[in-house]
Structure 1
């Protein structure tokens, strides 16, 4: 029977893998057996301080072995982890502490110029009615476990069930205010387990991903994925091209997952640094693989998911080409996830029709802070994702962007994702980003295209006319030399507002076909 809670999982993996490294950072190496003992000791410190089952504990800390230990220690006693971004400004931090009703806050003093505890000192205590203690991370490191608390830890661990909440994970907020999404031990572990094969994670994997642990991409696809598979996770506080390449080489990393643009940035520096990346295996982001191991564009699935699904819920084996008819898709829904497409009339749409993606199943969110179930789910239990897509006749999901990204041109609907996919098929185009550009005569299609100076806006427009209906062909063009020129937010997602501003500027200065 698969492990149902994090405590069961840690005990099982310690017995199976012993001294094998579970997490490595530049300053620490922690094996599975050591992870079991150190997180049990750390849990006793939390219990001594008054943390118990259901207590919500906020965590502000950069990636590292210590982050892993804290998260697992809290989970073992049934406390609820609330990972908080190291990028938060004071007002954003206050809002998330209130939204999640955080009772204990554990934080580093400073990271990359942010002094989180100083920020909170100027805020009246009445603004945090649930907050009982703010804990500097250094103070936690000096605490010693009590014997009585050890017995309580074991007793608490036995009471934790798959239905108990594990984490309140905030969304990135790229299209609105961040939401505090609640996941349980059962649904989170189930979601991660369902995607392991598609992400090529096995006990032999040495996994590196640059995503911060405070997002589901780091916590679920990194920490819990390694723990479930019995793999080794390699991480660092601040990814930088040279140090990251040296870390990949020194630790013989076999799987690099994460954002494609980060892999591309590393690839550009690899020859200069002279790092040996020969340990990387197929399934890694292809920019870091030898040319002969790379697939044709669109042949491999782009794993697709969201915080509310605890990461990817759709995919295909990352080292395997999909059937040609499915190229450009996100693969198929994983076991435990039901996906349907709903039209503007609220009814399920037939294969091939574009509509809102809705998801249902045991691996979806348990709720959102301060929201009722009736606000979140349809009467028959589906969660409306706000994403647009279509399913083909074989069940492959194609992504078409966000519902709020969709716009009208002369009364006709334009899906940015559809236009982007078409532009990426043009020879010489490395990437494309599409959004609406407002003007005196209404909305127009704007496209920022990465093509390393090989093509002009006029050439791109001629090629696009052969691929798209006239109303979908971009009227405003911006030619970029590199993906690094694309504006992004803190989580790596494209900042659509800034992209739109760049396109409007390009339009005013005459950079259009």
Structure 2
């Protein structure tokens, strides 16, 4: 009878989720009531915190951590509407502390653990946060940043994967002003504090602020709501788990893709196999173990996996590969589909599927997808996708008028994940009449209504009156067998304004002698004004990657301009 009562309670909870929805503040509590002791997360770097140092976390474990951390924040004086900056390593504490702040009704402001002290200081000042959470991995950078952020009145030290909270607390003592309260968050979490219920806040209230990468200026805080982050996730929470599917991710939780890729599978009953750091060889072996059903990464991770020999192994357990943050080369899509298996039953062997995701922090994650089914050749020319349910897209010219199919214009998107605005900047010019987001991406639309991504508006190279789209040239370069990675940027030219130049990482076993052939090859396949005037070989570590795995084109342009100038000067001296 007791077991039946338990089942009745669970199904009643599912019904409440379906008909009444669920706010992000109470989502983990609700998931724990529905899924209980089922496995939710597996980690490779356990926390140094008694009671929470396990490698396998159940839904109740997650709720226990989030609830206790929320209780400590409330005890410290955090109130609804306040901004709480989370600047920790990328272990599981990072997304859970953000959820704890949201549970309190506060606004979580995650910062990448690789951010510099200047970047941390800027976000602390810009957000006006009074509360900062750190761990031993970030204490050094935090101590320097706090001195430049007078609004900070309390710092809570969490345990991380690389040390206990006491270690971080001791490092901070004496480094911050006496009026700044330093609290051992980990120690207080182990005390018998009243947990309390999740805060009752409107779905339309801002609950998180994710800062943009700032590649075109100072980072802006994108204000996201519970409704935009959940986007109907309550429905997937109600679904029963038929079997344990595992998705492997190794993404920074301080960025929207990493946060959403952790949260949404958990709510949907998918086990998240979470790596705090990307290790190509170790992840290659895990993908080959047969215990992982899906993998989500950025294109640069797939390229590193190829270099580690992943596509020479049998990854038959992996049914689905997913990519986001940048355009995925078609050759990589083909290779990973070939070694994965959607179905493997004796003689019946069906290759894996591949999903590319288009989205941004301004859209709270994904807005469009391109599904490449088994045996389906990847579309040529880069990303070609369709909007997710609830989203609409349009392609417009400089005057805001829709362009005809096949013509290039700015991609604008409208949907449930749209940000509330930028902190202190309103719409920041990104939201136009009718609630359309100006993405800054250039795209065209096919006659069938599919969207073809062309490139970033800011990346377009204006050369002698022509527009050159780097993504198009990069896709073609990466079709050459000698080229593993290609990045195209504009470099100054005395008469044309700018000309395209390319940095390439050569495939294993290929040398710089190949560059002449690559230059000739690309020149035969694109218009003369699109062909890179110079192709420079670089090792991957020389490319200026940002924290989300995208190449910082502005910095690369400066690097290539300097190199080409040095070559010209050497030629003049010769």
Aligned partner of residue 335 in structure 1, secondary structure: coil
Instruction: Tell me the TM-score normalized by structure 2.
Output: 0.76
Q: Does 1:283 align with 2:321?
A: yes
The residue number in structure 2 matching 1:184 is: 225
Residue 339 of structure 1: how far off its partner (Å): 1.3
The residue number in structure 2 matching 1:214 is: 254
Residue 260 of structure 1: how far off its partner (Å): 2.5
The residue number in structure 2 matching 1:63 is: 90
Aligned partner of residue 349 in structure 1, secondary structure: coil
Residue 352 of structure 1: how far off its partner (Å): 1.2
Q: Count residues with an aligned counterpart.
A: 492
Q: How does 1:83-482 map to 2 (within 5 A)?
A: 83-111=110-138, 115-120=140-145, 122-123=147-148, 127-129=149-151, 131-137=152-158, 138=165, 139-144=184-189, 149-150=194-195, 153-154=196-197, 156-157=198-199, 159-190=200-231, 204-220=244-260, 222-245=261-284, 252-269=291-308, 278-283=316-321, 289=336, 291-293=338-340, 302-317=356-371, 319=373, 328-373=382-427, 375-426=429-480, 428-442=482-496, 443-452=498-507, 453=510, 456-479=514-537
Q: 2:99 aligns with which of 72, 75, 82?
A: 72
Distance 2:533 2:284 in 1: 41
Compute the RMSD of aligned alpha carbons: 3.5
Distance 1:165 1:321 in 2: 43
1:183–1:240 CA distance, 2 compared to 1 (3 A): same
Distance 1:13 1:483 in 2: 41
Residue 32 of structure 1: how far off its partner (Å): 0.8
Distance 1:99 1:423 in 2: 41
Question: Is the contact between residue 423 and residue 464 of structure 1 (CA under 8 Å) also seen in structure 2?
Answer: yes
Residue 242 of structure 1: how far off its partner (Å): 4.7
Residue 192 of structure 1: how far off its partner (Å): 7.1
Residue 478 of structure 1: how far off its partner (Å): 2.0
Residue 52 of structure 1: how far off its partner (Å): 2.6
Aligned partner of residue 178 in structure 1, secondary structure: coil
Aligned partner of residue 283 in structure 1, secondary structure: strand
Residue 55 of structure 1: how far off its partner (Å): 1.9
The residue number in structure 2 matching 1:509 is: 567
Distance 1:326 1:489 in 2: 26
Distance 1:77 1:205 in 2: 31
1:352–1:202 CA distance, 2 compared to 1 (3 A): farther
Residue 249 of structure 1: how far off its partner (Å): 6.8
Q: 2:554 aligns with which of 489, 494, 497?
A: 497
Return 5+ residue gaps in structure 1 as ranges.
none
1:398–1:268 CA distance, 2 compared to 1 (3 A): same
1:121–1:32 CA distance, 2 compared to 1 (3 A): closer
- What do the CA deviations read for 1:10-55 (whole angstroms, capped 9, x no partner)? 2442233222221222323210122223322332222222223222
Question: Is the contact between residue 45 and residue 145 of structure 1 (CA under 8 Å) also seen in structure 2?
Answer: no
Distance 1:485 1:294 in 2: 35
The residue number in structure 1 matching 2:12 is: none
Deviates more, 1:24-33 or 1:181-190: 24-33
Residue 118 of structure 1: how far off its partner (Å): 2.1
Distance 1:228 1:62 in 2: 23
Return 5+ residue gaps in structure 2 as ranges.
1-17, 47-53, 159-164, 166-183, 324-331, 343-352
1:329–1:238 CA distance, 2 compared to 1 (3 A): closer
Question: Is the contact between residue 341 and residue 391 of structure 1 (CA under 8 Å) also seen in structure 2?
Answer: yes
Distance 1:17 1:345 in 2: 51
- What do the CA deviations read for 1:417-440 (whole angstroms, capped 9, x no partner)? 222233334455444221111133
Question: Is the contact between residue 99 and residue 108 of structure 2 (CA under 8 Å) also seen in structure 1?
Answer: no
Larger radius of gyration: 2
Aligned partner of residue 16 in structure 1, secondary structure: helix
1:431–1:238 CA distance, 2 compared to 1 (3 A): closer
Residue 215 of structure 1: how far off its partner (Å): 0.6
Distance 1:472 1:207 in 2: 40
1:326–1:457 CA distance, 2 compared to 1 (3 A): closer
Question: Is the contact between residue 304 and residue 330 of structure 1 (CA under 8 Å) also seen in structure 2?
Answer: no
Residue 301 of structure 1: how far off its partner (Å): 5.4
The residue number in structure 2 matching 1:5 is: 23
Deviates more, 1:179-188 or 1:380-389: 380-389
Residue 325 of structure 1: how far off its partner (Å): 6.3
Aligned partner of residue 231 in structure 2, secondary structure: helix
1:444–1:234 CA distance, 2 compared to 1 (3 A): same
- What do the CA deviations read for 1:157-198 (whole angstroms, capped 9, x no partner)? 3x22321222100111223221100111111111878999xx
Q: 1:16 aligns with which of 34, 41, 65?
A: 34
Question: Is the contact between residue 251 and residue 276 of structure 2 (CA under 8 Å) also seen in structure 1?
Answer: no
Distance 1:291 1:310 in 2: 32
Distance 1:55 1:238 in 2: 30
- What do the CA deviations read for 1:36-78 (whole angstroms, capped 9, x no partner)? 2332233222222222322211111112232233222222232
Distance 2:116 2:480 in 1: 41
Distance 2:537 2:117 in 1: 37
Deviates more, 1:246-255 or 1:313-322: 246-255
Question: Is the contact between residue 282 and residue 289 of structure 1 (CA under 8 Å) also seen in structure 2?
Answer: no
